[in-house]
A and B are shown apart, each in its own frame.
Chain A
Amino acid sequence: DAGVIQSPRHEVTEMGQEVTLRCKPISGHNSLFWYRQTMMRGLELLIYFNNNVPIDDSGMPEDRFSAKMPNASFSTLKIQPSEPRDSAVYFCASSLGYNQPQHFGDGTRLSIL
C-alpha cells in the first residue's frame, strides 16, 4: 500500500525564491498535517486540514507560509519569499481523523542559502 508521498525529497534554493512542497496523503484519510522539524524546535505542527478544509493554521510562522488542499489527494505548502531560517525538514502526515494515529511521509529537506 502506498504511504504518504512527498516531493521533492530535497530542495536547495536561494533566499527570496518561492518554494513549493507537495504531499499526497494515504487514500481514504480525511486529515492532513504539515510539520516542520529542526534540531532546536523538534517537530512543530504548522497546519492541518480536515476534509480538505484548513482547521488550524496557528502554527504557520508568518504570512510567507501558505498551504492549500484543493482535493482529497493533494496538498501544497508554499513559502514565498523563502529565508535561510526556513531551512528544515518538512513533513506531511495523514490520518483517518484529526486525533487518530498519523502516518508520515519521508519529508522534504529544505535548504535556503
Chain B
Amino acid sequence: GQQLNQSPQSMFIQEGEDVSMNCTSSSIFNTWLWYKQDPGEGPVLLIALYKAGELTSNGRLTAQFGITRKDSFLNISASIPSDVGIYFCAWGGGADGLTFGKGTHLIIQP
C-alpha cells in the first residue's frame, strides 16, 4: 500500500524563528492541502496546491507542491505565538478523496 509520512511530529521553537515541515508519499497525487488546527477547533484550510512545482504563499506561510508530485512542504516565517497548533497535510485526487497526515505539533516558546 501507499506510504505517507508527515514530519516532524512536533517542533519546539523560539518566537521569531522560521518553521519548515513536510509530507512525503510513495504515490503520486494531484492535490496537496495544508490545514491548521487550533485547540478545541476543527482544522482550517491554509493553502491548496494543485499543480506540480506550484509555490503558493498566504501571508507568512509558503507551501510548495513537489515536482515529483510525491511531496510538499510548508514554511512559516518569523513565527508568532498564534502559530501554535497542529498542522496537517492532506493529499488526494483519486477515487478515495483526501487522506490526512498525522500532523505536526508546533509549540512556540516566547
**Interface class of chain A by DSSP:** strand
For chain B, the bracket of interface size reads 20 to 34
State whether A107 touches B102 (Cβ < 8 A). no
Asked if A101 contacts B44 (CB within 8 A), the reply is no
A29 on interface, CB distance cutoff 8 Å: no
**Are A48 and B42 in touch, CB under 8 angstroms?**
no
Is A56 an interface residue, CB under 8 A from the partner? yes
Residues of A68-113 contacting chain B, CB below 8 A: 91, 93, 98-99, 101-107
Task: Given A43-B88, A99-B31, A101-B45, verify A106-B40 contact (CB < 8 Å).
Answer: yes
24 residue pairs from A and B, CB less than 8 Å apart: A31-B97, A35-B100, A42-B101, A42-B103, A43-B88, A43-B100, A43-B103, A45-B98, A48-B97, A56-B96, A56-B97, A99-B30, A99-B31, A99-B97, A99-B98, A101-B45, A101-B48, A102-B90, A104-B35, A104-B43, A105-B42, A106-B42, A107-B41, A107-B42
